[in-house]
Amino acid sequence: MSNDSLKSKIWIALFALYIVWGSTYLGMRIAIETIPPFVHGAIRFFISGVILVVWQRLSGEPMPTARQWISCAIIGNLLLVGGNGLVSWAEQTIPSGIAALIIAAVPMFLVITEALRPKGHKPTLKAIIGLCVGFVGIYILIAPSAHLDAAPLNKMGVIALLFACAFWSIGSVYSKAADVPKSAFMTTGAEMLMGSIGLLLMSLFSNELQTWHVADVSARSLYGLTYLILIGSMIGFGSYIWLLKHAPISLVATYAYVNPVVAVLLGHWILSEPLDPHIWVATAIIIGSVMLINSKKA
């Protein structure tokens, strides 16, 4: 593969990652209009997980061992139930763009989680400054001043999103040393399958499944769910895995800066979500703090 050809493919994959992952917040918001949040997650990740595991098995990859299934269950439930599940639950009351901005703070939570881990990497002064700046951005986002004339955000939704950040960071740090399959796609498929079980249990615990009727599902929600399964999980994650192998990690990491902006704009254009001045201020502060934390010397 020539350098020019590789560069072209890298930018195509990066563009797909920017748009696809940035659009999943909108996809979730549309899917949960008539499909309960945890039910939607269980369906989404069960189907995506089956596709990935079957594909990898047919490609010659071994199935996970019993110990690897346990690791995948822990990671899958932290990331997909505690992380993604809480995001979709919060989007019942929080605009999709705002949800994406709060989740953009995950690198901040990763720094804290890593610092609290035994023998974990302690943050540098630059990272600490980035944390402080980032939390200022979150405060501006969730507690706007009265003179900005912005509607207050649902407190439980905000709390759920902050917990989602924490669960995602814990799962990410745990996964570094966990015993998982060598194939990234087999690992992801197994995590999705185990996470879907946790999401199904959450739907039962929250009484979602008992009160939900398939006949009530709108075509619009079905389109949103299908988009999340085929485009969000397959193309989005596929692009991410390919980029990790062929592009500098510093370039791949730029998706964390672009996705929130894409989510905010799509939510405004398609769902008419509010786009008040304080949102742009918070966006710049949060993304700036993440860039500072992710810089090489941080």
pLDDT digits (tens, 9 = 90+) for 245-291: 777 766 777 777 888 889 999 999 999 888 888 888 888 888 888 88
Rounded distance between C-alpha atoms, residue 284 and residue 187, angstroms = 34
CB atoms under 10 Å from CB of 292, counted, come to 18
- C-alpha angle 165/286/175, rounded to 5°? 30
Contacts for 229 with CB less than 8 Å, ≥ 6 apart: 44, 47, 48
Contacts for 82 with CB less than 8 Å, ≥ 6 apart: 163, 164, 166, 167, 168, 170, 171
- At 145, the pLDDT band (50, 70, 90 cuts) reads low
Residue type, 283: T
Mean pLDDT to the nearest integer, 201-224 = 94
CB atoms under 10 Å from CB of 270, counted, come to 13
For residues 21, 22, 24, 27, the Cα torsion angle rounded to the nearest 10 degrees is: -150
Q: Which residue has the tokens 């919060």?
A: 90
Asked if residue 125 has pLDDT above 80, the reply is yes
Residue type, 226: T
- At 157, the pLDDT band (50, 70, 90 cuts) reads very high
Rounded distance between C-alpha atoms, residue 186 and residue 260, angstroms = 28
Q: What is the mean pLDDT of the chain?
A: 87
pTM: 0.86
Rounded distance between C-alpha atoms, residue 143 and residue 137, angstroms = 10
Question: Distances in Å between the alpha carbon of 257 and those of 76, 229, 232, 233?
Answer: 24, 23, 18, 20
Asked if residue 70 has pLDDT above 90, the reply is yes
pLDDT higher at 208 or 104: 208
Q: What percent of the chain has pLDDT over 90?
A: 46
Mean pLDDT to the nearest integer, 44-50 = 94
Start-end of H helices in 117-214: 125-142, 155-177, 184-205, 208-211
Mean pLDDT to the nearest integer, 180-201 = 92
The count of residues in the chain is 298
Cβ–Cβ < 8 Å for 198, 80: yes
Asked if residue 147 has pLDDT above 50, the reply is no
